[in-house]
């Protein structure tokens, strides 16, 4: 298993194992998980572009009634940046349309959320920075030169969410997040996810 995956797995296990201790000492802790769809919005936006997935888990520390500090890990599956391009596979050869490539992007982010509470309804605006590990799925040898390279990129994100209390400590959440990575090919991704949060 790659080192970055071992690190993320260890961090997630350590956070999960320590949550009961944090809950006793720091009642402002909150955890959550969400899944949904993602759209590559670089240069264009199409509703039908929400055709791949985003899955993530996170932990928040709510510093007061309005501000939360958030650490998140997740994975995106997205189209490769050259999917559907017209290229020649050999010098002087005929032009062909590339098939759909897919990339898997593991990410870890940290940020802050400013929240508004209205009874059982909460809305929030958030932003932060993160690290994105891009790994393309395998393709046939003639197309490998046109795949996105495996790389790690710094990036940032922002978005908005809304949640509704189901029971005293459990909320149903809906969230829109825009991700931007700073290494070519620079990705601009919009995810729409839904999930649950639990506050200790």
- What pLDDT does residue 25 have? 44
Instruction: Give this prediction's pTM.
Output: 0.82
Q: How do residues 60-108 score in pLDDT, each as one tens digit?
A: 999 877 899 999 999 999 988 888 888 888 887 788 888 889 999 999 9
DSSP state of 9: H
Q: How do residues 158-171 score in pLDDT, each as one tens digit?
A: 999 999 999 988 99
pLDDT at 22 over 50: no
Fold annotation for 3-199 = Porin (2.40.160)
Mean pLDDT of 149-176: 95
- Rounded to 5°, angle at Cα 54 from 81 and 181: 45
Question: In the chain, what percentage of residues exceed pLDDT 70?
Answer: 86
> CA 134, CA 156: separation in Å to the nearest integer?
15
User: Given pLDDT bands bounded at 50, 70 and 90, which one contains residue 1?
Assistant: low
Backbone angles phi, psi at 156, to 5 degrees: -145, 165
* Residue closest to 159 by CA, chosen among 52, 9, 3, 34: 34
- Give the DSSP letter string of 167-191: SSSEEEEEEEEEEEESSSSPPEEEE
């Amino acid at each position: 298993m790659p080192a970055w995956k071992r690190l993320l797995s260890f961090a997630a296990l350590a956070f999960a194992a320590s949550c009961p201790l944090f809950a006793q000492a720091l009642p402002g802790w909150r955890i959550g998980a969400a899944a949904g769809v993602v759209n590559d919005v670089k240069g264009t936006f199409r509703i039908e572009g929400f055709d791949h997935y985003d899955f993530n888990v996170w932990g928040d520390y709510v510093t007061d009634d309005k501000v939360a500090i958030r650490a998140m890990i997740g994975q995106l599956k997205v189209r490769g940046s050259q999917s559907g391009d017209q290229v020649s596979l050999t010098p002087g050869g005929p032009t062909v349309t590339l098939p759909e490539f897919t990339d898997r992007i593991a990410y870890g982010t940290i940020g802050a959320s400013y929240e508004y509470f209205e009874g059982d309804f909460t809305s929030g605006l958030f932003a932060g920075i993160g690290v994105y590990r891009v790994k393309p799925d395998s393709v046939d040898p003639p197309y490998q030169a046109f795949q996105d390279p495996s790389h790690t990129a710094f990036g940032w994100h922002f978005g908005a969410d809304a949640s509704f209390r189901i029971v005293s400590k459990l909320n149903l959440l809906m969230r829109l997040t825009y991700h931007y990575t700073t290494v070519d090919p620079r990705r601009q991704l919009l995810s729409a996810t839904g999930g649950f949060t639990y506050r200790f």
